[in-house]
Structures are given as structure tokens and as C-alpha cells.
Structure 1
Amino acid sequence: MAIDYYAVDFLVGLTPPMLKKPRLWLLVAIVALGTMAGTSFAVAASRVALVIGNGAYQRVPRLPNPLNDASDVGASLERLGFSVRRLTDATFDNMRRAFIEFGRETTGSEIAIIFFAGHGIEVGGENWLLPVDAELRSDLDVASEAINLKTLMLQVSKASRLGFVLLDACRSNPFAASMQRSVRTRTVERGFARVEPEDNILVAYAAREGTTAGDGNGRNSPYTEALLKNRGAGR
């Protein structure tokens, strides 16, 4: 099933230009997850998910919600019939291995989801997810110490029906003040860069491209809380 603006238009009754609004992207995520609740598959292996919560960052202040977010989203996905692999406070090596192993699981699946809660940044127009052991002394270190969003998209693309990436990670770059810029200056922006839907892949952010999302004051971030309150994906 190809997911593009017009497929999303079919799901939620919205016109493509309106999807530029972050709340409507959240609605897309909720509706897609809710739709899964009413669909039955012969085996749980046809639905696979990797859920990551990174909060205990070693060189920047910790984030209060990601572990709760990952735990609650993982439990909700299991109730929707997913086989869920969990990862918390993951280092770069932990994340790299998890994506390789998960990519093998997505082969032959119908729906594959990756949920990530933690720090994410944009550097030079590319989106990156940060493991807890990232140092990022220079913008040139990003490719060696962080995980490119394209890696996640590639792994979920192996699903036959839908690959879904949920990012509760559109926060300010915690390394911005200390990160050295290379001579070949690359921009280090707030939030994430825009990613267009392609083939069977849908990427949903916690905030509009180029903006940041907060953690909230409760157990979960506002983005995750909204997902969990949906009837189809709720606790």
C-alpha cells in the first residue's frame, strides 16, 4: 500500500496541503494505528515493532519521558497484535545492532513500526537520532555517533503493506552550544527536516518540521499521550 499525501487524504478526509500542520500529522498517526486495531492477521509475526526510549543521556541533561513513552507504546502495540522488540537508553552500538536485527524481522511482515523517543537533530538537511553515548564535539562527528533517519525508513520499507516511523524526538539540539562547525559549514537546525512520504513508508513527527516539541509535565510526552489516548492504540 503506497502511503503518500493522497493516501493520507483517504484515511482522514484531509486535503494534502493541510498535512503541513503538526496536529494533523499526529491525527494521521492515530488514525493509522486505530485502523490496525480492527484488522486481523493469521500470525503476530505479520506485525513487528521496534520501540526505543532514550532518556539517560551521558553528556547532556536527561529526558524525563522517553522510557515511559517507549514502555507504554510498546504495551499498546502488543495489544494490537505486534511482536515488539524493546530498547532503552541505547548506545550507538546497541541501536545499530537493533536496527540490523529488526530489519531481518521486517522481511516477510505486513506492517513494521519503529517508535523512537529521545533526542533528534537536523544537520545539513539530514535527520539524526541520538544514542545516549553521543558526544558530538563537531558536526562532522554526527555520521559516526548518531543514526540517520534513512536507516529507520530503509528497515520498515521491507514490510509488504506499511512501514511506519513514529518520532517523538523533535527537540532542540542539546549539543548546539558546544558543537564545533566544520570549515565546510553545515547548518545545525532546530527540530527535524521535512521528509516526504514514499512508497509504503510513513514518517510522523511530534512537531512540524523545523520546530521543537516539549516533554510535557506528566508521565508521557504530549505526542505519546495523544497516541495512547486513542481508542485503537490506547492503554
Structure 2
Amino acid sequence: MDGRIGIVSRWILAALLMCAGRCSAAHAEKRVALVIGNSAYRTVPALPNPTADARLIADTLSSLGFAIVGGGAQLDLDKAGFDEALRKFGTALTGADVALFYYAGHGVETHGLNYLVPVDAHPADEGDVFAQMTGLASILGQMEKAGARINLVLLDACRDNPFRDRGVRSTTGGLAQMQAPIGTLISFATQPRSVSLDGDDGHSPYTRALAETMQRPGFGLFKSFNEVGLAVEKATGGQQLPWVSSSPIAGNFYFAGKPPTVDAWPALAPPDTPVQEARITPPDDPLRRDLVTDCDRLAGMPYDTGHAPDLAGVEVDRINVAAASTACNDAIAHYPEVVRFTFEAGRVATARKDYVEARRLYEQAAAAGYGMAMNNLGSVYEGNEGVPTNYVEAGRWYARGVAAGEPIAMVDLGWLYETGHGVVKDLAEARRLYELATKAGVPAGMGNLGLIYLYGKGVPRDYGEARHLFEQGAALGNAAAMNNLGVIYNEGDGVRRNVRAARQWFEKAAALGNPEAKQNLRGMPR
């Protein structure tokens, strides 16, 4: 396993999308949906509503121009049927503009990953989960690879774990939080680690609200799912709150058509005005975290404390350079006092490999006190990005980022102390910095701290603590943490050796592009 998890960590969240609505022109786009409802479970109690919920959603989507895989809702699927439905879904997605997956039924979370449960599942232990159930991550991967402009995943599956008495461990009831790939919105019936209600009128509160809201003309994605959330909250007396995870999505999407054009409406803002959203933050915040523009959505850095806390950010290798360049130039022109946009323009320059311009912009933002710009200047000097590698200078900038409170800088400076690059090697200081980053919720900090305990670097070796930290990172979708869990299970480090579980973790990490996992898979016996 590589000790360095990475300067830029992975994560999720907001934006919008382009599609039209109900008239013939709107449906010129290709909309494809797979709708599954599982009620008749064979080894656990049946669920009352999923099949009816699936029929309602399939009928609603069909009326909105979606081609439904299989001609209608796919009901009470066993594992073979589930796999076949997904195969047909993959075939149907060729050339699709919009891909939608809806599932109602049992879902379970184990080791921070979510699985959908076919009706014939009968796990005796956690190892059976991988073989008998369908990983939600693999469905997301299939949809992402198909290349649709918009991917929507709607899950009415946040129920109690029906297999908890059979050795299938779950942190709590419900499903775990998930990252949404680029161009994807995931809607959960309730918040992560929470349990949704079945309803007592033939449909779940979530699905009923979803079907009704989809049919409202002029409701874009975020308005639609906000309305669904409000309706479910009202219907359940506040017991259930739906939750959304989204990545940047360009343009607008309407299930049932654009808003009608009314001559009496006030003039719209000029098209070159950056899109912004209201946020509940102090009005005197000098960083203007209340302001979210397309520059933030297209070039914001994951875990940057300088932007809105619910904005996920985009990895630098996933930045759409052309769109982000325009958006950030517009943001700087309209809001020259907001230094964050200068920093994000630096990330766009990094993405197009214009390292001279990137350094200039980072230096400008750092001079104005922007903490993440200080961290990224450290990356410039550590990573030989347009300047000779200089660990001492990198450490100086990382330290300034740490002083500014940036958790990513804590990981990067911790790595220098762990390896002795540019600073005197100090494992205790490395551990302290990783612990701070872990408390801030940064997967890279969890992974590096886990490796400290796995190898006993400056501390007594503690396989249990290492596994716990890797599980935390895996729950946040971190591929390196998944790979490290695979190593633990393959080697039997503090656990009973489980080659099948190891392979599953390696496969999940490899699917996310982790090179160590790919190499580990090649070395495993078939």
C-alpha cells in the first residue's frame, strides 16, 4: 500500500442540469429508466409497498417520456433476475441522454457500502453479502460508464437491516452516505444511517411524494427534490427527511417540462451573470460562503473551508477546463473582492497544465489570506509543477495552510513529517496532524492514520484501529481505504483471513481507479 493517499481527496455535491420537458420537442432526448420493486422476500418478512411503489413510478416515468426497461416495473427479482435487468439496462443506455434507476425494497449497509437485496438473498455472514446482493456502487459505475448526460438514482431502500441477526453487521439502520459521480444525483428516502417508513396507504411517503412532484411542469431537479423532502417531512410529522447527494450537473433538467413563458414576468438576469444560491451563513462573512457560483461548482476544491460547507468540490483531473474557465472569469469580474474565485481559477490553470499561471493565481490568493491557496502552493513545490521540487518550500506553505485551518494541509504536512522530506522526521507530529484531519472528516487523514497503526510507526501496532480508520474512509467512498481493507482481509491482519472479502474490496477500489488495488487483484489466485 502506498503511504500517500493524495493531495486532493475525493468527495461530492451540488449543481444542476439540462433537459426539457413534456412536449414532443422535450422528449427528443433519450430517457431510459430501470424500475425495480422487491416485496416478496423468501427468508425475511415481506415488505408491503415496494411492488406497488415501483408500478407507480414506472407509470409516472412512462408518461414523462422515459423508456422503461422490460416494458414496466421489474418486480420481486432474485439475484439472477436483478443481474439480467441490469444487463438490459446497460444495453438500453447506449446513446441515452438521461438515465434513471429506481429501487424500492430492502437495502443494507456493511463496511460503509450499500447493497440492494434480491428476494432470494440468504446471507449467513458478511462474505455472503458480496455474492448474494447487488452493490449500489457497481450500478453507479455502470451508469457513469454509459455516458448519459444525466444520471438519476432514486432509492426507497433505507429500511432496517433484516439480516442483522445473521452476522451481517451494519453501523446503524438505513444506508450509508455515498458520493455521486460527475453528472449524477442520488436521492435517498431518508438521511444516511436513518430508517424510512413504509406508509399505510399502499405507498411509501417518499415514493408518493416523488411521483406527484415529478409531474409538476417547471420543477427543476433541485426544486423537485426539495419539494419531495418537504412533502415527506410533512406526511411523517418530521420523522423522515429525504436526502440528496449530487455532483456538478450542467444546465437545467425538468421531469415534466420547462416553466411556461409569461410576458408579464420580470426580465431575467443577463445570461453572463453567474448562477448563485442562497446559503444560511453569516452576512458579514468575508469569504462570502453564502455565494455559490458556477465557478465553485465547476472548480471548487474538495474540503476547502473557504467555500460553502455543503459544496463538494471537483477533483482537478475532472475539471471541465473550458466551462470552468468561463465561469471563473465571470465570477472574478462580478465579485472581484471574493478571493476564492482567484484560487479556483488557479485550479483551472492547473487542470490545463498551465503551471506558471496557476502559481501566479495561487500566490495572489495566498497573499490575500486564502488558506487553501497556501496548501496548493505547497503542492506546486512538492509536485514539481512548473518549479523544481523543493520540500522545504512545500513544508513552509503547508504549515501556513495548517495555521489557516485547512484539513488537507494537515494531511500534506503530516506526510512530510512522516517521511522526513523537507523537515525533521517526526512521527508523533505526523500522527497529530493526521488525527486533526480525521476529526475534520477527511478520508486522506483517516487512511494515513490507519497506515500508522497498521505498520506500528511510532505507536504500538493496532490492526483493529487501522481497520476502523480504513472503514471510515471506505464509507466516504475513498478507494485507497477500500484497497487497504482488502489487504487486511487478504493478510488476516487482526481478522480472520477472508480472501473473498479481500477480493471484493480490491475490486471496489480498482473500479474507482486505485492502481494498488489493480495490482493486488493481479496477484490473487483465481
CA distance in structure 2 between the aligned counterparts of 1:176 and 1:138, rounded to whole angstroms: 10
Map 1:209-220 to 2 at 5 A: 209-220=192-203
Instruction: Give, in angstroms, the shift of residue 5 of structure 1.
Output: 2.9
Number of equivalences? 201
Which digits, 9 at most, give the CA deviation of each residue in 1:118-147, with x for residues without a partner? 000100011000000000111110000000
Q: Which has the higher contact order (CA 8 A, sep 6+)?
A: 1
Aligned match of 1:99: 86
Aligned match of 1:5: 13
Aligned match of 1:228: 211
Matched letter for residue 77 of structure 1: L
Matched letter for residue 166 of structure 1: L
CA distance in structure 1 between the aligned counterparts of 2:149 and 2:158, rounded to whole angstroms: 27
CA distance in structure 2 between the aligned counterparts of 1:88 and 1:187, rounded to whole angstroms: 26
CA contact (8 A) 2:42 2:120 kept: yes
Which digits, 9 at most, give the CA deviation of each residue in 1:206-234, with x for residues without a partner? 01001110101011101001112223369
Instruction: Give, in angstroms, the shift of residue 187 of structure 1.
Output: 4.4
Instruction: Give, in angstroms, the shift of residue 203 of structure 1.
Output: 1.1
TM-score (norm 1): 0.79
Aligned match of 1:149: 136
CA contact (8 A) 2:108 2:170 kept: no
Map 1:72-221 to 2 at 5 A: 72-85=56-69, 86-157=73-144, 158-177=146-165, 179-180=166-167, 187-221=170-204
TM-score (norm 2): 0.36
Which consecutive unaligned segments of at least 5 residues does structure 1 have? 12-31
CA distance in structure 1 between the aligned counterparts of 2:14 and 2:153, rounded to whole angstroms: 18
Instruction: Give, in angstroms, the shift of residue 61 of structure 1.
Output: 0.6
Question: Percent identity of the aligned residues?
Answer: 36
Which digits, 9 at most, give the CA deviation of each residue in 1:158-186, with x for residues without a partner? 24310111000000001112x126xxxx6
Instruction: Give, in angstroms, the shift of residue 87 of structure 1.
Output: 1.0
| 1:174 counterpart SS class | coil
CA contact (8 A) 1:102 1:155 kept: no
Instruction: Give, in angstroms, the shift of residue 36 of structure 1.
Output: 4.5
CA distance in structure 2 between the aligned counterparts of 1:114 and 1:77, rounded to whole angstroms: 11
Structure 1 residue ranges (4+ consecutive) displaced by more than 6 angstroms after TM superposition: none
CA contact (8 A) 1:106 1:155 kept: no
CA distance in structure 2 between the aligned counterparts of 1:187 and 1:62, rounded to whole angstroms: 20
Q: Aligned Cα RMSD in Å?
A: 2.2
Which digits, 9 at most, give the CA deviation of each residue in 1:9-61, with x for residues without a partner? xx8xxxxxxxxxxxxxxxxxxxx99x744771326xx1000000000000111
Instruction: Give, in angstroms, the shift of residue 111 of structure 1.
Output: 0.2
| 1:156 counterpart SS class | helix
Matched letter for residue 221 of structure 1: S
